[in-house]
Amino acid sequence: MLKGHTELVERMKKNVFFIFVAYIWTKTLLGLTFHPFSTIREVTRRPVLLPVIFSPLIGLFTLFVLGRIAALLITVYGLSRELIALTLSTALIGIVLWQLLLIYLLASFIVAFWRR
């Protein structure tokens, strides 16, 4: 009975840790979306959160992979094709500009930290 209880506790610890990491990741990502300046300042104080800054690149990579898969599975012509191209190009430009903003803010905070 004790062995089963120990396994259950270990599994619960892993689940709680996963929920905690997902919460912190989501909270930081939402902060980067709506308040990038203050969130980047917070991330520079807690370097363990640095990978969250590169979430737009992860999203961009996912967008490309899903686009290639969809191109293999779905064939569209005419106005639908143009709308899909417009949507994907707008998303690409937005994600790249957002990532550049985050990298610029991170670099400026790191330089300011080094000057102190």
The model's pLDDT over 20-55, given as tens digits with 9 standing for 90+, comes to: 888 988 999 899 889 999 999 888 888 888 888 998
Question: pLDDT > 70: what percent of the chain?
Answer: 95
29, 84, 114 from 63: Cα distances, Å? 17, 12, 36
CB 40 within 8 A of CB 32: yes
Give me the domain span that covers residue 111. 2-115
Tally of domains in the chain: 1
Give the position of tokens 């790191």.
Answer: 110
Q: How confident is the model at residue 108 (pLDDT cuts 50, 70, 90)?
A: very high
Query: At residue 62, does pLDDT exceed 70?
Result: yes
